[in-house]
Amino acid sequence: MGNSDYVSFLKEIARFIPDNRIYTDDLRRLAWGTDAGFYRLVPKIVVRSDNEQEISQILLLSGKYHIPLTFRAAGTSLSGQSISDSVLVVAGKNWESYSVSSTGGQITLQPGLTGGRVNEILKPYGRKFAPDPASVKSAMVGGIVANNASGMNCGTHANSDKVMLSARIILSDGTILDTGNKESRLDFIRSHPEFIQKIESVRDRIRKDSELVSRIRRKYSIKNVVGLNLFPFIEYDDPFDIIAHSIVGSEGTLAFLSEVTMKTEEDLPYKASAMVYFSDIREACKAVVAMKKAPVVSAEMLDKKSLQSVNDTTGEGLTAILTETKGHTREELVDNIHKIEDILSSFNTFTPVHFTDKENEYASYWAIRSGIFPSVGGTRRPGTTCLIEDVAFHIEDLPQATFELQQLLEKNGYHDACIYGHALEGNFHFIINQAFDTDEEVARYEQLMNDVIALVVDKYDGSLKAEHGTGRNMAPFVKYEWGETAYQYMREIKEIFDSEYRLNPGVIFNDDPKCHLKNFKPLPLTNEHIDKCIECGFCEVNCLSCGFTLSSRQRIVIRREISRLSRLPGKEKQMELLEKQYKYSGNQTCAGDGLCSMSCPMGINVGDLTHDIRQSHLPKGSLGYKAGDFAARHLSGIESALRPVLSVANTAHSLLGSKAMVSLTRGLRYLSGSKIPLWTPAMPKARYPHKTAQKNEPLKVVYFPSCINQTMGVSQHSPESTPLIDKTIHLLQKAGYEVIFPPHMERLCCGTIWESKGMPDIADRKSAELEAALYEASNKGLYPVLCDQSPCLYRMRHTIKKIKLYEPVEFINTFLLDKLVFKKIDEPIAIHITCSMRKMGLDKQLIELAGRCTSKVLVPEGVGCCGFAGDKGFTQPELNAYALRKLRPQIEKAGIKTGYSNSRTCEIGLETNSGIPYISIIYLVDKCTTPVGQ
């Protein structure tokens, strides 16, 4: 296999896969080739697959040219099983279809759905996705099943293997087999009789070996994902059931999983959790062993280092057990709590045992637990790598084995290591922060792994990998854990499915005994905003450009590589190439919305990194900086100049019509090389200021209309003709408020636009001007201040501290509910929750307020940040279109005529991409209310 083979392979796949889903450039090969683990390989080719036919063809061509393939979903794997130096096939955002049975008892899923999304789908049925890794909100179904990933509650009784009903797979020869479809099974028997015969032969020979059967049962009585899954060969008679369940835990080494049907689990309505503290780790483990017989759903251990990483201040040197119980009724829940408390009463707990059934309280406990790995990783010494290992012991061995594991880490010099995990299942993770920059450090890691193997395998006959997959870091030890006989059966199974070992080579089966000591990922210091990142990928579920250009994690990966190359002599051209490629994919298409920080346990905001990069491109004295400074000093004049432009555009729109206007403006944009901003039919009319009479009322509010709303009115297709400022005044006066405007408000701005462009000093100057004006208008902070644009309000809250600031939803909910009578309309509506509302925790308030106005409220699925991002909807409209690609079908299906939000620029993009007008939520509230007593 030479480079010519890859060239030929590339030419052939280009015949049926468009160029925008085949990557051979340095930037995207590196970006997509990086996963959450501590190894790195850079693929030669990355292919983003779209459907089964593509996968089938890719597999056929892989066989023709003898080219290895590795499949990747979310890339949250921790053991090096989703990286490749050959061809990486991504099956993520294009693989999100599903179907649910009428009762919700089973669900059929494509591999690109995240576990968190599956739980959202099942919630109305009172059901949930049984496999529950800590990364469930980010990990995708394909990876969860392929790794047999489990977590806090599913144990061995409800992991992927136990709840799978059937699988649809694509074999190495391109054949598609649906094990749950009778026709497909019959076709396969006719086309692959030898395959079936070999599966049955392995099944029969394993069953005749009573010693091996006994060993398999013991090994899988606890969590175990080391090697291929042998349990189906003693559990199922039907060869198709064996084939389907063999895929579980196979880490992409046997076939491509294109669809899986699984049983769901009842999500019991009554839940309670307790964080129980112990002074000694052995005592904590003994308590877990005792709780194994109690109605405990999960018991998660957090040792002293884990607690330190999340700033737990309960006490020094403690170990905590986070335990949960559930019930069908409140009475059952209370009874369960009493039983658990009785068991724990015989143990010396540091604090009294206290269970809470308040969701906001116990959710914070579990958020801490889910984020332990990234949180510990974030406390590591800068420049070191964060490694996580994953072992399991039989429950009776847990107290002593855990103590010895802790001692073993200390002995090898890992004084900052932490142990935590699923104690109820005897499954612990331990995290170490490791440098690989010297031979001595590599040798220290190797000695640690040898000691761990001796403890787990030789002394306690446990599992070297309980739930994270074998991967590259345990591939050399599969035979050692299982023994020669079992290992040879695994080899035989691999060869039935993939005789050439083309699928995910080096994972599970690796003939290099030192493969776990090679290809370590570098994590160079790059930028203070991102240096703590461990590249776990949790951020990507909230990154709107993920799958379009680069994700938040991938931006960090590329910036780190640029930083690394900058320190190496002779790498200038590589670095310059990455910088050039990063300009659009990394910088221009980053919305900077900060939503990535909401799913990052460390709160890392890649938008801050982007702002730093933009600032570096706009040094003081540059033309761009001078233009920004001029705009800040002459904001009133710029607004005045923009109004006639909007009026002319609106007149042309009226005369030419939407279709002709779109064609004309797109043509001009094309001829300008995309330098002219995009015009859309959603472009608003101009709003010309006029004086508004104020009523002298005892209730007073300072109203700061954003500069956007001071300039822009409604769009041509809006159901409302009144500009937002005037509508807001009407609503406030209806509720009995005197409206006060800050002095010279036409000159004022929150500074967001300058911050996003990389001019933070100008942004802060504008914020300071605004604060002074609002402080004066509010009678030194006595009156509340309302801003009608949530993104502006978000920045104001971070820069203005002397005044009580509100955006529309929060102001209405806080001050107006007792002053207005709501009357629901019989009309379906859609609402869009802006990024700033999400970050301020106001999303539920918006939904509740909309629910006061109508009983038919749609919050579209799969729509996060709209991607308009200030002005990017004009300059990079393709980002806006990608972010809202799932919106229009839902709007049309629900028969919705109007959508509501609270950001004028977002509303322009929403209207452009949904086909319906979007307006402020203030319009809806005004429409549905009358004053109290009228």
Q: Which of 161, 142, 135, 215 has the alpha carbon at shortest distance from 390?
A: 135
Pair (585, 681) in one structural domain: no
Pair (499, 534) in one structural domain: no
* Strand bridging mode 164-170 / 256-263: antiparallel
Say yes or no to pLDDT of 919 above 80: yes
Say yes or no to pLDDT of 34 above 70: yes
Pair (3, 79) in one structural domain: yes
Say yes or no to pLDDT of 1 above 60: no
Domain assignment present for 367:
yes
Residue where one domain finishes, among candidates 816, 850, 881 = 816
Mean pLDDT of 66-74: 97
Answer yes or no: are the C-beta atoms of 823 and 854 closer than 8 Å.
Answer: no
Say yes or no to pLDDT of 835 above 70: yes
The band of 366, judged by pLDDT with boundaries at 50, 70 and 90, is confident
DSSP structure string for 229-276: --THHHH--SHHHHHHHHHTT-TTSS-EEEEEEEE-EE--SEEEEEEE
Mean pLDDT, the chain, whole residue set? 92
> What pLDDT is stored for residue 649 in this prediction?
60
Read off the CATH number of the domain in which 457 is found: 3.40.462.10
pLDDT in tens, 483-503: 999 999 999 999 999 999 999
| 134 vs 399 pLDDT, higher one | 399
Strand-pairing partners, residue 106, are 263
Pair (767, 905) in one structural domain: no
Pair (829, 802) in one structural domain: no
Mean pLDDT of 273-302: 94
> What pLDDT is stored for residue 932 in this prediction?
92
> What pLDDT is stored for residue 672 in this prediction?
56
> What pLDDT is stored for residue 148 in this prediction?
96
Question: In whole angstroms, what is the distance from residue 376 CA to residue 384 CA?
Answer: 12
Residue where one domain finishes, among candidates 596, 617, 638 = 617
Find where tokens 């900086």 sit: 625
HEC secondary structure over 524-550: CCCCCCCCCCCCCCHHHHHCCCCCCCC
The band of 664, judged by pLDDT with boundaries at 50, 70 and 90, is low
Q: Tokens standing for 82?
A: 């989703």
Answer yes or no: are the C-beta atoms of 481 and 226 closer than 8 Å.
Answer: yes
The band of 668, judged by pLDDT with boundaries at 50, 70 and 90, is low
pLDDT in tens, 413-445: 998 899 998 999 999 999 898 888 899 999 999
pLDDT in tens, 370-408: 778 777 777 777 778 888 889 999 999 999 999 999 999
Mean pLDDT of 357-366: 90
Domain assignment present for 431:
yes
Domain assignment present for 162:
yes
Answer yes or no: are the C-beta atoms of 901 and 910 closer than 8 Å.
Answer: yes
Find where tokens 């925008």 sit: 20
Pair (60, 196) in one structural domain: yes
Domain assignment present for 624:
no
pLDDT in tens, 440-465: 999 999 999 999 999 999 999 999 99
Say yes or no to pLDDT of 656 above 80: no
Find where tokens 């050039």 sit: 580
Domain assignment present for 538:
yes
Answer yes or no: are the C-beta atoms of 124 and 134 closer than 8 Å.
Answer: no
pLDDT in tens, 541-580: 999 999 999 999 999 999 999 999 999 999 999 999 999 9
> What pLDDT is stored for residue 152 in this prediction?
82
The band of 666, judged by pLDDT with boundaries at 50, 70 and 90, is low
How many beta carbons lie within 10 A of that of residue 587, not counting itself?
Answer: 19
Lowest-pLDDT choice from 200-204, 666-670, 719-723, 823-827? 666-670
Q: Tokens standing for 367?
A: 């958020």
Read off the CATH number of the domain in which 211 is found: 3.30.465.10
Say yes or no to pLDDT of 153 above 70: yes
Residue where one domain finishes, among candidates 566, 596, 617 = 617
Q: Tokens standing for 185?
A: 């099974």
Read off the CATH number of the domain in which 847 is found: 3.40.50
Pair (121, 249) in one structural domain: yes
Say yes or no to pLDDT of 653 above 90: no
pLDDT in tens, 778-822: 999 999 999 999 999 999 999 999 999 999 999 999 999 999 999
Pair (842, 795) in one structural domain: no
Pair (690, 542) in one structural domain: no
- Predicted structure pTM score: 0.93
Q: Tokens standing for 303?
A: 């040792």
Strand order in the sheet with 785-787: 737-740, 699-704, 785-787, 805-806
What's the total number of domains in the chain?
Answer: 5
Percent of the chain with pLDDT over 70: 94
What residue numbers bound the domain in which 669 lies? 650-816
Strand-pairing partners, residue 266, are 127
Lowest-pLDDT choice from 662-671, 788-797, 883-892? 662-671
Pair (449, 508) in one structural domain: no
Domain assignment present for 475:
no
Answer yes or no: are the C-beta atoms of 307 and 377 closer than 8 Å.
Answer: no
How many beta carbons lie within 10 A of that of residue 862, not counting itself?
Answer: 14
Pair (717, 844) in one structural domain: no
Domain assignment present for 501:
yes
Say yes or no to pLDDT of 310 above 80: yes
Domain assignment present for 300:
yes
DSSP 8-state symbol, 42: -
> What pLDDT is stored for residue 610 in this prediction?
96
Pair (570, 699) in one structural domain: no
pLDDT in tens, 205-248: 999 999 999 999 999 999 999 999 999 999 999 999 999 999 99
Lowest-pLDDT choice from 50-59, 101-110, 411-420? 411-420
Say yes or no to pLDDT of 661 above 60: no
The angle that helices 193-208 and 484-497 make with each other, rounded to 10 degrees, is: 170
